[in-house]
Amino acid sequence: MFGIIGNGSWATALAKMLTDNGNRVHWWMRNERSVTHLQKKHHNPQYLTSVNFDPALILPSTDLQQVVAACEVVLICVPSAYIKEVLQQLPEDSLRGKLVISAIKGILPEQYILLNDYLHTHYKLPANQYVAITGPCHAEEVAQERLSYLTFSGLESTTTERLAQNFRTDYIRTTVNQDLWGAQYAAVLKNIYAVGAGMAHGLGYGDNFLSVYITNCYREMYGFLQTQYQQSNSVAEAPDFHTSAYLGDLLVTAYSPHSRNRSFGTLLGKGYSVMAATTEMSMVAEGYFAARGMNQVAEAMGISMPIMKQIHNALWEQCQPDEAFSAIELLLS
């Protein structure tokens, strides 16, 4: 039995995958209106409204403790900026004996840590009971059942593979690896770089520039991932970073019109303030919060990331996007 925490577009897409495979899903939603609508109309009232669910397989509720208690696998899909607020409703022992799947592509604010490290500290969840999902995969294309790929990263290969099987459909292919920390960091970084890609688009840069920008972003990400892996003292085999979970996810997030991070950056490049862009989108762009956290992480690890730094400055240090990209131009080759 699966439990889903969150009711955005990505949570809805994952619920579709699970129920298309016949899995029953306990689904936590923030408000009773969404729960009632899903029970009566059989679709999420706000996100991916074209996706209809079998009512026998969906059990929505606003009672988080009840949802978690009823399931064996907890799937967390709340934006990273709000996850601590949501999880505070749970007792410390509520995740004991459960498997947790993270569908969050962000870093937790204030402490600037990944979700598995937060759960280990606050809920005593062992790392081998945690699996992270990464793309490249847009929720909108899942709703349309266009062929997409997911990577599941976990320390226990057998457990990771067993969980991945529940998401495989005619339109979803899955792969697994053991790069638990690196895959999550890559998912965080690609959102930051995608905000930058949107800024460049909004500022009037063309495809030629964008291709050079993304190439250099990947080189910077690759350097971070290599150093992070070396510092982690992991006994697992070094991962292949030239795969879809790393490079592919960066490409689709930076280029696709479905990408909320690119859309957010485009508004900033056109002159919107952060607050105005957030209001315009009515959705959370993980890259905004991630830029602050990853700037701290990179500095703590002693890793130079000048492109990311400029995007961080545009988002958090009152540097104008055109000034940031004037500096980025000098970094590219």
What is the four-CA torsion angle of 177, 182, 187, 188, rounded to 10 degrees? 160
Place of tokens 């999880």: 87
Q: Pairing state of beta strands 99-102 and 130-134?
A: parallel
**pLDDT value of residue 235:** 56
* Residue-by-residue DSSP string for 280-333: HHTS--HHHHHHHHHHHHHHHHT---HHHHHHHHHHHS---HHHHHHHHHTT--
CA 272 to CA 283: how far, in whole Å? Answer: 15
- Residue 291's DSSP bridge partners are none
Q: Where does CATH 1.10.1040.10 sit in the chain?
A: 181-329
Per-residue pLDDT of the chain (333 residues; tens, 9 = 90+): 899 999 999 999 999 999 999 999 999 999 999 999 999 999 999 999 999 999 999 999 999 999 999 999 999 999 998 999 999 999 999 999 999 999 998 899 888 999 999 999 999 999 999 999 998 999 999 999 999 999 999 999 999 999 999 999 999 999 999 999 999 999 999 999 999 999 999 999 999 999 999 999 999 999 999 999 988 866 567 789 999 999 999 999 999 988 999 999 999 999 999 889 988 887 778 999 999 999 999 999 999 999 999 999 999 999 999 999 999 999 999
Identify the pLDDT of residue 233. Answer: 66
pTM of the model: 0.94
Q: So what's the pLDDT on residue 258?
A: 87
| The pLDDT value given to residue 110 | 86
Residue 6 is predicted with a pLDDT of 94
| Bridge partners of residue 99, in order along the sequence | 73
Residues of the chain with CATH 3.40.50.720: 2-178
Question: Do 237 and 231 touch, CB atoms closer than 8 A?
Answer: no
Q: Which fold has domain 2-178?
A: Rossmann fold (3.40.50)
Centre a 10 Å sphere on the Cβ of residue 226 and count the other Cβ atoms it contains: 15
Task: Look at residues 232, 224, 158, 145 and name the one whose alpha carbon lies nearest to residue 192.
Answer: 224
Identity at 271, one-letter amino acid code: G
Pinpoint the alpha helices (H) of the chain. Answer: 9-20, 32-41, 64-69, 83-87, 115-123, 139-143, 157-165, 180-203, 207-232, 249-255, 260-269, 274-281, 286-301, 306-316, 321-329
Inter-axis angle of helices 260-269 and 180-203, nearest 10:
40
What topology is assigned to 181-329 in CATH?
N-(1-d-carboxylethyl)-l-norvaline Dehydrogenase; domain 2 (1.10.1040)
Distances (CA, A) of 267 to 28, 60, 97, 112, 275: 32, 35, 44, 26, 11
